[in-house]
C-alpha cells in the first residue's frame, strides 16, 4: 500500500495472501510493511477523489455490466485473484491495525480499482472510537412500523459512510427459531412475513446513504452453541458453544420450511430491496457448508431471485476453495486464507476451478461496485464530525419508544402520575447501567442514558420523589418498596454472539458477571425452568408492595414466573443510546406505548418449539434437526394447543381499541379499528390466514400472519384498515412439484390485535375451492 493509504498493487496483495497463509503473522512475507494513516484519520480519507480515472470502464454512460466487462478484459489473472480475498488480518482483533474497519480489500492502482472498506453494523457502526447505538433489531421489529425501518437503516448507512466505509454488514435477516440463541436481539423476530416486510426499507435506508447493505446470515444461522460461558474475568465471550456450535453444526431442514420460513426475508431484501451484498453463514445446510452451497448461493439466490450483487463469507466461514468458488461465493473478507492468491492459484493449476468461474466471481464484485457508484465518487473520509450524532441520538430514542411493548397493565397502574409528592422506588442493577447485546453488533456508545438517569430527570420535572436501590439485598429492596407509593423493578438479561443463553430465565441464577452474564451453567436448564436471581428480587419486592411493575431490558423472550404477582410489565428490549429517556417517557405517559411482540413469550422452557428435544437444539454435536418444520414460533404454540405467557403480536396501550365490520372481497380484506378510549394512540391491526391442508401428511399451521397495518387514532376516531393479498399469500411450497402452489379449498380469515386476540373471523375460497 502506498503512503497515506493509496491502493495496494498486485505484488503486495500476493504478499498479503502469503502473509495470511503463514499463520496470519503480522510481518510481510515479502518484506513490505503497511504504512499507517495519519493520526485521527482513516487511510480511506487520503485516497482522494480520483478513484477511477480516464479508463474506458470509467465512462458513467455505460451500464454497470458493460463497465465490469471492460475492466475484467483488461485485468491479469493475478489481479483478478487478488480481489477475491480481504487484506487486513488485524481487522477483527484488538491488535494495532492499519484501519479501524472490520475488513479491507485493497484496490489496484493501475486500473483505478478503489480500496473497499467494510464495517459491522446491524445496530450502528461498530468501530473502535464509538458511535450511537440504535435499539436492538428486535425492538425495531416490535414497532411493527416499516417506516421506522427506513429511518433505522438510514442512521446505520450514515454512520457507515461517516466512518469511511463502503459496505456495512447489516441487516441481520435471521429469524428467532431458537429462544436460547445469543443473537436473537439482532433479528426482526420469529415470523417470516414480519421480517420480510422490514427487510426492504432497512436495505433502502442504508443504501440511500451511498453505502452498500449486506443481508446476513444466509441461511440457517439460529444458534451459536450451548453449554459454554465465558470464564469469570475474561473480557471476551467464546467464539462458539461447546455443543451445537455455529462453526460445525449441520442444519437439517426441509425445503418447504426453508422456503416458507427462513428464506423469506432474504428474498424480499433481494427482490424488493435491491441489496448489494449477501453474507453466507457459518453452518452447514443439509450437508454442504452454507458458504459452499450451490443450491442456496446459485440456484435460489441468482437463478430464481435474480441477485446481481456479490456474496461474501462470514469471517472464517470458508473451508474448501474450489467448493466456495464453484458454488457461488465471491469474496472471503477475513482472513483470506482459503481465498488467498496462493491457494486459488493452486486449485486453478490442478483444474479444480476454471478461469471462467474466477471471472464470474470477480465480475460480480466489480459490477456491484460500479452499480453503486463506488468507482465514481471520492473515498468517504473517516470523520465522525460529519455524522449527525445528535440526530441519531434522537432517532434512537424515538424508535425505542415506538418499539416498547406494554405486556400487562392491570388496574391501569401505568402511566405513572406526574404528581408532586409521589414516592417512586426504582430497584435493580439493570436500571443503572447501559444494557445491550454483545458481539459484533455491539457499538461502543459515545453517550447513553440509563433508566435511572431518565427517571431522575423526568421525576424531578414533575416533583416526584425517586429513590434507588440496586437490589443486591432482597430484604433492603423490599424495605424500600414498602415505603413507596409505586415501585419499578428493572431487570435485564445478557445476550451475546459466541454462545447461547444457558437458560431462558433472566439470569439463570448462580454467579453473575458485571453485565448480568452467567458465569456458570446447568445443562438441565435447556429442558426445564431455572429460576434466576432477578426472579427472586421481583417476587420479594412484589410481596412488599402490590403496586410493583417490572421494566425488562432483554434481547428476546424470557420466562416470567412472577407475571401474576405484578400488575404491570413493560418490555423495553435493548433500547439503545437514549433508552433511559425513552423508558421514562413511556412510563410517565408522555408517549403512549404501541409496540407489539414480534416473538412469543413461553410459560415454560419445555413449551418452546425447541424445548424438551435436544435434537432440535442444540443437536447431537453434528446435526441439529428442524423437525418443528413450518411450525416455528407462534405456529408451534397454536398447533400444540399451548397457552403462551404472552402471545405473538400482543401489546397493550394506554387507550382501548375496538375491531368491527370485517369485509372479505376476493383478495381485498378490510376492517374498522376504532379508538374507544380517552387518549390518542396507535394500534397494529393484524391479519392471519388459515390455509387448508392440501394433502394428507402436509401440515399447515392453524393460522399465519399475512398482513398488518399500524394506525394512529384520536379518541373517538376510527379508520378502515386494508390488507391487499396476492397469490403468494395463499401459497405453500409444494415439495413434490418444486413450486409455490395454492391448494383448492376454504381459507380462514382472522383480524385482531394479536395472534391470540382475533375477534373478526371470516372465510375465503381459493383455487376453485368452496366454503360451506
Q: What would the grid cell of residue 157 be?
A: 448507512
Q: Find where cell 448462580 sits.
A: 510
Of 88, 120, 174, 314, the active-site residue reads 314
Bin 115: left if φ > 0, else alpha if -120 < ψ < 50, else beta.
beta
Cβ-contact 114, 107 below 8 angstroms: yes
Cβ-contact 462, 420 below 8 angstroms: yes
What is the C-alpha to C-alpha distance for residues 136 and 157, in angstroms, rounded to an integer?
16
Q: Find where cell 393479498 sits.
A: 725
Q: Which helix (H) or strand (E) holds 280?
A: strand 277-280
> 217-240 burial, b for 16+ CB within 10 Å, e for fewer?
bbbbbbbbbbbbbbeeeeeebbbb
For 192, list phi and psi in degrees, rounded to 5.
Answer: -65, -35
Cβ-contact 301, 280 below 8 angstroms: no
314 is catalytic: yes
Q: Which residue from 456, 451, 404 is spatially nearest to 579, judged by alpha carbons?
A: 451
Query: Any residues with CB less than 8 A from the CB of 356 and at least 6 apart, and which?
Result: none
Cβ-contact 681, 653 below 8 angstroms: yes
Q: Which residue from 192, 302, 216 is spatially nearest to 632, judged by alpha carbons?
A: 192
> 728-753 burial, b for 16+ CB within 10 Å, e for fewer?
ebbbbbbeeeeeebbbebebbbbbbb
- Helix 474-483, helix 533-544: angle, nearest 10: 30
Number of residues that make up the chain? 772
What is the C-alpha to C-alpha distance for residues 542 and 534, in angstroms, rounded to an integer?
12
What is the C-alpha to C-alpha distance for residues 462 and 421, in angstroms, rounded to an integer?
9
Cβ-contact 423, 449 below 8 angstroms: no
Q: Which helix (H) or strand (E) holds 298?
A: none
Cβ-contact 320, 338 below 8 angstroms: yes
Cβ-contact 280, 286 below 8 angstroms: no
Pairing of strands 657-665, 668-675: antiparallel
Cβ-contact 18, 29 below 8 angstroms: yes
Kindly list the catalytic residues.
314
Amino acid at each position: 500500500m502506498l503512503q497515506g493509504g493509496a491502493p495496494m498493487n498486485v505484488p503486495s496483495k500476493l504478499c498479503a495472501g502469503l502473509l495470511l497463509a503463514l499463520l496470519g503473522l503480522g510481518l510481510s512475507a515479502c518484506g513490505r510493511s503497511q504504512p499507517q494513516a495519519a493520526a485521527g484519520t482513516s487511510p480511506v480519507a487520503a485516497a482522494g477523489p480520483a478513484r477511477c480515472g480516464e479508463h474506458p470502464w470509467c465512462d458513467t454512460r455505460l451500464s454497470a455490466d458493460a463497465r465490469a466487462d471492460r475492466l475484467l478484459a483488461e485485468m491479469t489473472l493475478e489481479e483478478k485473484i487478488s480481489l477475491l480475498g480481504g487484506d487486513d488480518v488485524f481487522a477483527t482483533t484488538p491488535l494495532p491495525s492499519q484501519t479501524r474497519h472490520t475488513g479491507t480489500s485493497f484496490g489496484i492502482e493501475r486500473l483505478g480499482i478503489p480500496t473497499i472498506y467494510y464495517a459491522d453494523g446491524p445496530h450502528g457502526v461498530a468501530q473502535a472510537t464509538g458511535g450511537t447505538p440504535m435499539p436492538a433489531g428486535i425492538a425495531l421489529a416490535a414497532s411493527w412500523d416499516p417506516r421506522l425501518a427506513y429511518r433505522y437503516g438510514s442512521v446505520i448507512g450514515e454512520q457507515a459512510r461517516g466512518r469511511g466505509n463502503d459496505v456495512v454488514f447489516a441487516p441481520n435477516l435471521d429469524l428467532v427459531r431458537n429462544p436460547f440463541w445469543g443473537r436473537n436481539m439482532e433479528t426482526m423476530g420469529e415470523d417470516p412475513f414480519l421480517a420480510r416486510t422490514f427487510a426492504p426499507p432497512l436495505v433502502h435506508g442504508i443504501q440511500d446513504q451511498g453505502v452498500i447493505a449486506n443481508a446476513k446470515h444466509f441461511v440457517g444461522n439460529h444458534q451459536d452453541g450451548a453449554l459454554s460461558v465465558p470464564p469469570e474475568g475474561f473480557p471476551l465471550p467464546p467464539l462458539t458453544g461447546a455443543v451445537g456450535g455455529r462453526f460445525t453444526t449441520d442444519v437439517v431442514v426441509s425445503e418447504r420450511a426453508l422456503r416458507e420460513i427462513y428464506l423469506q426475508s432474504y428474498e424480499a431484501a433481494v427482490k424488493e430491496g435491491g441489496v448489494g451484498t449477501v453474507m453466507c453463514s457459518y453452518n452447514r445446510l443439509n450437508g454442504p457448508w452454507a458458504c459452499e452451497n450451490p443450491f442456496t448461493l446459485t440456484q435460489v439466490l441468482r437463478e430464481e431471485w435474480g441477485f446481481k450483487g456479490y456474496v461474501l463469507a462470514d469471517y472464517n466461514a470458508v473451508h474448501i476453495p474450489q467448493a466456495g468458488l464453484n458454488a457461488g461465493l465471491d469474496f472471503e473478507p477475513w482472513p483470506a486464507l482459503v481465498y488467498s492468491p496462493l491457494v486459488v492459484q493452486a486449485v486453478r493449476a490442478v483444474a479444480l476451478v476454471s478461469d471462467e468461474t474466477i471471472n464470474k466471481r470477480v465480475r460480480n464484485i466489480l459490477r456491484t461496485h460500479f452499480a453503486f457508484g463506488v468507482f465514481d465518487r471520492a473515498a468517504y473520509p473517516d470523520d465522525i464530525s460529519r455524522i449527525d450524532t445528535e440526530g441519531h441520538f434522537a432517532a434512537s430514542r424515538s424508535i425505542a419508544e415506538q418499539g416498547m411493548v406494554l405486556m400487562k397493565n392491570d388496574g391501569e397502574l401505568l402511566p405513572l402520575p406526574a404528581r408532586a409528592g409521589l414516592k417512586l422506588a426504582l430497584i435493580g442493577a439493570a436500571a443503572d447501567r447501559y444494557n445491550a447485546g454483545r458481539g459484533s453488533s455491539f457499538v461502543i456508545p459515545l453517550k447513553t442514558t440509563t433508566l435511572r438517569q431518565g427517571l431522575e430527570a423526568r421525576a424531578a420535572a414533575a416533583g416526584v420523589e425517586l429513590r434507588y436501590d440496586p437490589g443486591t439485598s432482597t430484604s433492603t429492596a423490599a424495605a424500600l418498596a414498602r415505603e413507596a407509593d409505586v415501585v419499578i423493578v428493572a431487570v435485564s438479561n445478557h445476550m451475546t454472539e459466541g454462545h447461547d443463553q444457558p437458560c431462558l430465565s433472566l439470569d439463570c441464577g448462580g454467579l453473575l458477571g458485571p453485565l448480568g452474564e452467567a458465569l456458570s451453567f446447568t445443562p438441565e436448564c435447556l429442558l426445564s425452568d431455572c429460576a434466576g436471581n432477578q426472579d427472586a428480587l421481583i417476587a420479594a419486592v412484589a410481596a412488599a408492595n402490590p403496586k410493583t411493575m417490572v421494566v425488562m431490558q432483554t434481547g428476546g423472550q424470557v420466562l416470567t414466573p412472577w407475571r401474576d404477582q405484578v400488575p404491570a410489565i413493560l418490555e423495553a428490549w435493548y433500547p439503545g443510546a437514549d433508552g433511559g429517556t425513552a423508558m421514562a417517557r413511556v412510563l410517565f405517559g408522555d408517549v403512549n406505548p404501541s409496540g407489539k411482540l414480534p416473538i412469543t413469550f413461553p410459560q415454560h422452557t419445555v413449551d418452546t418449539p425447541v424445548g424438551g428435544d435436544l435434537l432440535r437444539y442444540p443437536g447431537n454435536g453434528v446435526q441439529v434437526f428442524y423437525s418443528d418444520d413450518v411450525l416455528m414460533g407462534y405456529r408451534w404454540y397454536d398447533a400444540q394447543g399451548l397457552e403462551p405467557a404472552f402471545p405473538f403480536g400482543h401489546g397493550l396501550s394506554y387507550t382501548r381499541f375496538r375491531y368491527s365490520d370485517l369485509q372479505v372481497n376476493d383478495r381485498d380484506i378490510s376492517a374498522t379499528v376504532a379508538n374507544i378510549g380517552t387518549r390518542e394512540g396507535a394500534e397494529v391491526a393484524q391479519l392471519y390466514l388459515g390455509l387448508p391442508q392440501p394433502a394428507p401428511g402436509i401440515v399447515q399451521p392453524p393460522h399465519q400472519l399475512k398482513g398488518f397495518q399500524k394506525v394512529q387514532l384520536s379518541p373517538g376516531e376510527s379508520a378502515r384498515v386494508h390488507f391487499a393479498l396476492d397469490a403468494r399469500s395463499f401459497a405453500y411450497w409444494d415439495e413434490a412439484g418444486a413450486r409455490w402452489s395454492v391448494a383448492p379449498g376454504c381459507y380462514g380469515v382472522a383480524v385482531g390485535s394479536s395472534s391470540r386476540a382475533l375477534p373478526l373471523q371470516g372465510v375465503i375460497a381459493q383455487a376453485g375451492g368452496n366454503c360451506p
